[in-house]
Structures are given as structure tokens and as C-alpha cells.
Structure 1
Amino acid sequence: MHRSESAHPLRPFVELTGVSHTYATGGTLAVDGLDIRVNEGEFAAVVGPSGCGKSTLMKLATGLQFPQAGAVVVDGQEVRDPVKIAGMAFQAPTLLPWRTTLENLMLPLEIVEPHRSRLRRNKAEYVAKAEALLESVGLKGAGSKFPWQLSGGMQQRASLCRALIHEPKLLMLDEPFGALDAFTREELWCVIRDLHARMAGSLTVILVTHDLREAVFLADRIFCMSSRPGKIIAEREVGFPRPRDLEITYTPEFSDIVHDLRGRIAHARSTA
């Protein structure tokens, strides 16, 4: 089933309307007149030239930054504070080295309500949930290990688990696999594909990436941004049925979409 035909058909979940933002008074606009709508349960990817404002979009959608103009709405509410229903994973796993993998996973539960209030009296239940999440990404038994005892790919799997432990409705991924080798990266594409599928329309994902193959393999829809100041210049549906196997990445149909996106980004760069 295509994601947009799921249990939540076409309910807008993340909406940025007419958004403009700069990081310093009088500075260069990072995004200008940015409009994007991502539906509930959808897996969206955002691609574009370096410095086009992809990471700015992520910060605006999660309430880590607030726009100078326009509106940001998540789950029907205008964003005025950090978005508590969001989980985030970045290129660097940023696991705390003095905490075990399990303790790193538990960190959001110590911060985000209602889990923070429940954690002490329901510790065993939360630990069991964290261990099940680790097992689901191939890290069974790794909870007692420290980050420095894990490979880069294992650290990134743990980082994904930490982003999901508090059951967010929105998962924001900012180049999460960019520092990994090609084989590990493809393994993790399959991990996030399966995690999203298991959550059956209840998890909306926005992936910011430079990797066009990654975007086409994972996403229902891909948004292409212009050079700075960034705005959406193209939107591409990816109609491949789910679940998708890595073999699809070697088909002419897959390559056609990748080449189309590459052409759009090359044009955006040349007209900057």
C-alpha cells in the first residue's frame, strides 16, 4: 500500500507556509517564501544544493528556530516552542560516552513528559521497551556496551532508537547515514524502512539528505530546494510499492528518478 493511502489519508501534519528566516539581523536569508506540506504517516525527503536551507527547514519544523515571517504548523498546532512529539537523529550519533547504550536510549525519557513523571516507578517496563527497540534494529545485547565499544553503524542504529524511544509522531533525520560506508548505509536504509512500516501510518518522517538514491529508496515524496535562500522548486512522487527491496535501486525506473532530481539540483546550482 502506498503511504498516502494509509489509515490517515492526506491529513497535513507538517506545514510551513510563506516561511522566511535568517540567522542574524541583516544577514543572508536561509529560506525565503518556503512552502511545504507533509501528510501524516508520510515519509518525505528534502534534497537540494549544499547550503540551500535543508537543515534550517528541520530546525523550523521542530521549534529549534522560529521564522521571521510565515507560519509553521505541526499536528494542527502553530509551533511556538520546541516540538515535544518530535524525535531527531543527525549525521553524528552524539551518544554520551559515559553512558551505556541503554542509558543513552533512556535519556529522552528523563526529559520528555509524560515519560519523565512515569520513569522511576515504571523503570522495568521502559527498560524492556528500550531493549526490544535495540533488538528490532539488530542490537540485541548491546545495551550494556558504551558507545566507544560500538562501530559507527551500530552507534547510528542506537541513535535512531533514542530518537524513537519516547514514541514521537514526527521523526526528523538530518543526513543520518552520511558518514557511513556504502554497505552500512544501505543496511540502515532497510532498518529505517522497516521501523517506519511497523508504525503503520502513525509516524511521519522527514529526511534531509544529499544522497539522491537514499531519498528515492525511502521516500513517498521528495521535495527539491533551490539554492539559498531556499524554497521548494520541485516535488516528486515516488510510486514504487512497499516494502521496497534494495534490488529496486538497480532498475531503470529508479535511475530515471535519481537522474531527474540530479538535473533539477544542477539547474538550481547553476542559477544561484
Structure 2
Amino acid sequence: MQGPAFVKIDGVDLVYRQAEEETLAVQDLTLDIQEGEFVAVVGPSGCGKSTLMKLVTGLLEPSNGLITVGGKPVRGAIQGVGMAFQNSSLLPWRSTLDNVMLPLEIVEPHKRRLRKERKAYVEQAMALLKTVGLDDFAEKFPWQLSGGMQQRTNVCRSIIHEPRLLMLDEPFGALDAFTREELWGVMQKLWMEKRFTAILITHDLREAVYLADRVFVMSKRPGRIIHNRVIDIPRPRTLDTTFEPHFGAIVHELRAYIHDVREA
């Protein structure tokens, strides 16, 4: 039996106001996510996927409804969440290792402990870099890394402080297909080891099915959840998994929902 939801969005509306214009971005947005669950959110462009991320992290305040994380109402930006985006946001003057360690300088209680326990934290960061195959690049700078290496570094930085919640907004969207598929395996491995709660925003339906326990499909604007698909494919998943008939059938099912809402 499942316990209370770790992330709960209950009947949320969001109205964007600009000058005298109002835009209803999401309406009656409702979903539950269990702790340690990996979910993906898909839907047509402009449906409110990134808005959902900003609402959960407290960067936007809902016009109506309630959002809770860890049983607490979200009132402003929440602390300790990990985030990774499509474009690399590495600091160019910091090495790979120093970029990964950046949250430890900002997030409590690590910020308070870093000076005294620096050696242990460096070992932790190096172990994480080794997991994603970047331990030999710890002293390199972002401009010396490929796009895929930069995104691996981004992902490591987003989880170094062991957040309970990881928000992923198209983290592999700017990469070529081969690198993107390789990083699916990296992300799955990290999640299976750390078991953080993850919300992935993506346009790539294969990516969603590969990584997620459940995939939520959103309607066109104003966005709401119209389908909740459990991904009943055993882990660990591999690229061979993506060629299996059941995997393909789930992808086609999700695509059909998105096609229908775009045509509606």
C-alpha cells in the first residue's frame, strides 16, 4: 500500500498576468508522486510542462489550488531541490570538480561543514564523477568538455547535495541522439543507486518511457493531466529494451494521446 504522496499537486490553476492581458497556463492540474519515484511529463509545446516545474519548486505561486512537497505546502522557493536544464549552466572559470561541488558551498548543512570536511566531500564528488565516467576530467574546464560531458557534469552537480527531489527540464534535449541515449543509461544508473524523486520534463517519448516509472500526458493550454501511464517494463532498461514491441507500443500510445490533444 502506498503512503502519502511526496509531491502533491491538487487542483492548481495558474493565470499569467501581463499588462491588461491574462493567460490561463494550467487549469485543475492534479497529480501525486511517491517518494523515490521517477516520473516524466510530456505534452504538446506550450502545454505548461515547464510551468509545472516552476510551480513544484515554488518559483511560481498558483492562482488556485495547493502544492505540497514532503507534506509541507509550497510557499516560495523550496530548499535543497536539484535541478538540471537543457543548456549547460557550468561556470566557465571552474573545473569539472569545482562545478560539481558548487551546491555544497550554498546548500545547508553542507555549506556549514564544507571547510572542515572538504576531503570527504571531494571524495564524494570524485566517486560521483567516476560513476558517470568523468573522474579523469575532474580538473578540466567546461570548454574542454564535449556537450555530453558537460551534461554529465550538470547532472552530477544537481545531485551532489543528495536532494530528495530532482527536477529535470529537457536535460538531454540539446545533444545528438547517440549521446542522449547514452545519458539515459547514466541517469537510470544514478537513480537506481540514489533513489531520489525525479520529475523529468521532455518532448522525447522514448526518453520518457526509458527513464520513468510513470508518464503523465498534459493537454494543450490550459494544461491539465489527461493520461497517467504506468511503465510496466522491468529495470534496468537498456537500448535493446527500446526495440521491444511492448516499449514501442507504449510510445505509440503516448504519441496518440498527444496527437489527439493537439488536434482537439
Name the TM-score class by shorter chain: over 0.9
1:16 and 2:4 matched: no
C-alpha deviation, 1:270, in angstroms: 0.9
Q: Secondary structure at the match of 1:109?
A: helix
Q: How does 1:46-195 map to 2 (within 5 A)?
A: 46-195=41-190
Report deviation, 1:225: 0.1
**Which whole-Å CA distance do the structure 2 matches of 1:60 and 1:101 have between them?**
30
Whole-angstrom distance in 2 between the partners of 1:23 and 1:97: 34
**Which letter does structure 2 place at the counterpart of 1:173?**
L
Which of residues 228, 252, 263 in structure 2 aligns to 1:259?
Answer: 252
- Post-superposition Cα deviations, 1:224-251, rounded to whole Å, max 9, x if no partner, equal 0000110001111110111112111001
Please, which moves more after superposition, 83-92 or 220-229? 83-92
Partners of 1:192 and 1:168 in 2: how far apart? 15
Aligned alpha-carbon RMSD (Å): 1.2
Q: Shift of the alpha carbon at 1:94?
A: 0.6
Q: C-alpha displacement at 1:252, in angstroms?
A: 1.2
Please give the alpha-carbon distance, in whole angstroms, between the structure 2 residues aligned to 1:149 and 1:211: 28
Q: Aligned equivalents of 1:10 and 1:248: distance in 2? A: 30
Alignment-mate amino acid for residue 172 of structure 1 = M
Count matched residues.
262
- What is the SS of the residue equivalent to 1:12? coil
Q: After superposing the two structures, state which structure 1 stretch, 210-219 or 78-87, moved more.
A: 78-87
Identity over aligned pairs, percent = 59
How far is the alpha carbon of 1:10 from its aligned partner? 4.4
Aligned partners of 2:84, 2:139: CA distance in 1, in Å?
21
Name 1:250's counterpart in structure 2. Answer: 243
Partner-residue secondary structure (3-state), 1:189: helix
- Out of 222, 225, 234, the position equivalent to 1:229 is 222
Amino acid at match of 1:127: V
Residue type of the alignment partner of 2:95: T
Alpha-carbon distance between aligned partners in 2 of 1:119 and 1:68, rounded to the nearest angstrom: 39
1:22, CA displacement in angstroms?
2.6
Amino acid at match of 1:168: P
Q: Following TM superposition, by how much is the alpha carbon of 1:11 offset from its aligned partner in structure 2, in angstroms? A: 3.7
Partners of 1:10 and 1:55 lie apart in 2 by 27
Does the Cα contact within 8 Å between 2:80 and 2:107 map onto a contact in 1? no
Correspondence for 1:208:
201
Work out whether residues 43 and 219 of structure 2, in 8 Å CA contact, stay in contact via their aligned partners in 1: yes
SS in 2 for 1:35: strand
CA shift digits 1:75-101 (9 cap, x unpaired): 111111322231000001210111111
User: Tell me, which stretches of 5 or more residues in structure 2 are unaligned?
Assistant: none
Amino acid at match of 2:117: N
What letter corresponds to residue 199 of structure 2 in structure 1? Answer: I
Normalised by the size of structure 1, how large is the TM-score? 0.94
Of residues 205, 208, 212, the one that matches 1:219 is: 212
Matched residues in 2 for 1:142 and 1:22: separation?
45
Alpha-carbon deviations, 1:11-49, whole Å to 9, x = none?
A: 411111111113325421111110011111111000000
Counterparts of 1:10-49 in structure 2, within 5 Å, are: 10-25=3-18, 26-49=21-44
Distance in 2 separating the partners of 1:233 and 1:243:
28
* Structure 2 counterpart of 1:90, one-letter code: F
